[in-house]
A and B are shown apart, each in its own frame.
Chain A
């Protein structure tokens, strides 16, 4: 039973990582720039995955009991509720007839619609886990697979941090409909614009 619970936690993390990798593929493979609401949904998905990741981290350090399970999956439910609200709002923004939606659909639905499905599944899966809490504390053996799944989640979070910084540049917020990587654009314009000293000395720019 202990191994089964650990496998479910690893599966939850890997499933979320797969969705986040799909979003990164849409961003870099298909050249779609994620809007602010898409980025917020990614954040909520990561926070939802932190619940089972926290459970694995606790299990790696000693026995875990019902309180640990409940606390970790409650975190997932809270994050999924926030993410579900954001994705539901984005679905409603594009629900009017004739609205093409934001970005290209994938497997018949837009990414924010898939995100809503993911958040509903997270709430259901977490609630199921909390229905069958262990009666005694368990000391599962956390193997390499569990550690690698947590590391994969960390790597995806780090990649997203860099990607969103490149997209937003030195601005506090992303534009509503981003069409370029602002950091790269700003750096290019810095390089191509002549400095004040060069302009005064009449240095010709290419």
Chain B
């Protein structure tokens, strides 16, 4: 999954390089959401703080 997201980010950069604005914007949004979902998957432990 992690490697796929890196590939997605690389594809975003390539779309930017080739001047495809809509595709670049879409890929950026998908990458950002994918990163956030991956974070949500890994963030399972309770924090050791007592507020």
Interface residues, chain A, CB within 8 Å of chain B?
A: 36-37, 39-40, 43-44, 46-47, 50, 53-54, 57-58, 61, 75, 78-79, 82, 85-86, 89, 92-93, 95-96, 99, 150, 153-154, 157-158, 160-162, 164-165, 168, 172-174, 176
- Which residues of B in the span 1-51 have a Cβ within 8 Å of any Cβ on A? 1-3, 5-7, 9-10, 12-14, 16-17, 19, 21, 24, 28, 31-32, 35-36, 38-39, 41-43, 45, 47-49
In the complex, residue of chain A having the shortest beta-carbon distance to the beta carbon of B1: A172
- Interface residue SS majority, chain B: helix
- Interface residue SS majority, chain A: helix
Instruction: Tell me whether A161 and B13 are in contact (CB under 8 A).
Output: no
Bound CA span A99–B22, Å: 46
Bound CA span A86–B31, Å: 15
List the count of A-B residue pairs having beta carbons below 8 Å apart.
97
In the complex, residue of chain A having the shortest beta-carbon distance to the beta carbon of B46: A93
Instruction: Tell me whether B39 and A57 are in contact (CB under 8 A).
Output: no
Instruction: Tell me whether A50 and B47 are in contact (CB under 8 A).
Output: no
